[in-house]
Amino acid sequence: MLIAANNPAVTCPDAGKVRRGLAREDLFTVVHDPFLSVTARYADIVLPAATYLETEDLYRAYGTYYLQYAPRAIPPQGEAWSNFRLAQALGQRMGLDDPVFRMSQAEDPRRNAARGTRSRRGARSGAGA
């Protein structure tokens, strides 16, 4: 099982049942997280993940329909990878041929999603605005 950007050992409603499941001997678990979370302690392999400051992403507002692009503030530290980079690498190694697994960073749809949009005040927003 691959767990990325989540900590189900503490966030799921029946965390005790989740922990018992994660502790099973017949379950191979990989966790991709920037922290050694409670869930990561159950993992067979922990992969270092980039934090929100180290990766570009789209963020949605809770309770509204706004979407915001946020560029990374710093490059990923050490051996950390973004979730997008990990998903691309896994897809390529699995032989998946969907175009998303071959996109360059410049083609990343998150980067271009807000291009040419206008803010509430009329200013242009998005990457390269």
Non-local CB neighbours of 12 within 8 Å, separated by 6+ positions: 18
DSSP letters spanning 106-120: GG-HHHHTTTT-B-T
Measured from the Cβ of residue 54, the count of other Cβ atoms closer than 10 Å reads: 17
pLDDT (0 to 100) of residue 49: 97
Of 4-13, 87-96, 109-118, the least confident? 109-118
Using alpha carbons, select from 72, 68, 43, 38 the residue that is nearest to residue 55.
Answer: 72
Amino acid (one-letter) located at 97: D
pLDDT at 129 over 60: no
- Spans of all domains in the chain: 2-48, 57-112
pLDDT at 17 over 80: yes
d(CA 28, CA 45): 9
pLDDT digits (tens, 9 = 90+) for 55-104: 988 888 888 888 888 889 999 999 999 998 999 999 999 999 998 888 87
68 SS3 class: strand
